Amino acid sequence: MVVPSPFVYWAQTEDAVSLKIDLKNVDQPNVKVLDSKVIFSAQGIGARGQSQYEFALDLYSPVKPNDGDNQPVVMRVFDNRVELSLQKSSGAWWPRLTAQPQKPAWLKINFDLWKSEDMQDSDEETRDIMKDYPGMYDQLHKEELGYRREEFKKVYLILYNLFQTIGFVYVLSVMSVRYSKLGYDSVIDTYEHVGSAMKFLHLMQILEILHPIFGYTKGGPFVPFAQLIGRIFVLFVMIECEPRMQAKPVVFYLFVVWSTIEIVRHLFYFTQLLNKEYPLLTWIRYTAWIPLYPMGISGEAYVMITNIQHFQETQIFNVSMPNDWNFIYNMPTHLRIHSSILVGPGLLFLMTHMYKMMRKRQRTEAAKLK
C-alpha cells in the first residue's frame, strides 16, 4: 500500500526555508532533518481524509540539523497545518527546493511568504524578492503555474487603462472619419455621435478617485478629483443640459483635446504596467500637457461663459427664496465664479502639478544614466 504525501508549501529567505504541511488534527508528527534531507510522517486529515501521511525531500543545499542545545529546526503544530523552519548552512537564495529539477506534484510554492525577510516576527524592513530577484521569481511562477502570475490590482489597472485608451481612440476616430467625409458640417453634431461614449468614459474615470484610496495607485484622491470634477460638470451640466451648447464648435474642439490627453495618459500607464519603455511616448506624456492643458481649460471656461446667457434665460438649476431650506442658488453667478477660478488658480494648480511630475521623471531618468 502506497502511503500518501500531504501538500507541502515552501518559501525561502536568504538564510532560511519554511515548509507548511497541509494536514489537520496532527498529533506528535515524526520529523527528521538530516544534512540535506527532510523526512516527515504523521497521522492527520489531508487530501485523502484521515490517514497516515509521509514524505521525504532531498534538499537543494544543506541545512543545519538540531545538535544538542543548538536548535535551528523549529516545528510548530497548528490545528490545520504543521510548519517547519529550517536554517540554511550557508546564506544564499536557492533556485529550487529539491536537489533534482523534477519536483513532486504535492510540493507547491508558498508565494505569500516570499516577501518576508524573516519567518519569525521582526521589526526590520521587509524585502521584496520580486524586486531583488525578478528572474528567480518569474522562473518559480512559471515552474509552478506555467505562466507569470500577476497581482489582481495590476491586472485590473492594465485592463482599465487599456479600456480607456481604446475608448478615447474610438471617440477620436469617429470624429476624424466624420470630419474627413463631411468636413466642417460634422462639427455641429459631434455631441450627437460621440457624446454618449464620452460621458461613459468619464463616469468610469471616477474609479481613479478611488484607486489611491484603496492603494491601487500612489498619491492621494484630491488631484484626480480636481482634474475630473471640472470635466464632469462641463459635460453633464453645461453641455448635456443645454441643447444649444451641444451644436457649438467648441464641443468638437473640447472632445479632440480631451481625447488626445487621455489617449496619451492611459497608453503611457498601460505600457508602464507592462514594464515597457517607449522613449517617444514618455516624451509626449511629459511634454504634450504644456499646450493641451491650457487649451482644454480655456475650452471649458468658454463653455461656462457662453452658457451664462443661456442659463439666465432658462433659469434652470436656480433656487429662489422662499423655500423650505432658506437657500438661494444662482447658476449664472456660479458660472462667473467657476470660470474665473478655472482659468486662474485652477490652471496654475494643474500646470504646477504636471511640472512637478515632469521634473520628477527627469530626475529619475538622470539617475538611471549615472
Residues with catalytic annotation? 293, 300
Task: Tell me the C-alpha distance between 59 and 63, whole Å.
Answer: 8
Q: Are 113 and 18 in contact (CB under 8 A)?
A: yes
Which residue type does 14 have? E
Task: Tell me the C-alpha distance between 275 and 156, whole Å.
Answer: 15
Task: Tell me the C-alpha distance between 338 and 302, whole Å.
Answer: 11
Q: Which long-range contacts (CB under 8 A, 24 or more apart) does 162-168 make?
A: 162/266, 162/270, 163/204, 164/201, 164/204, 164/205, 164/262, 164/266, 165/262, 165/263, 165/266, 165/267, 165/270, 167/197, 167/200, 167/201, 167/204, 168/201, 168/258, 168/259, 168/262, 168/263, 168/266
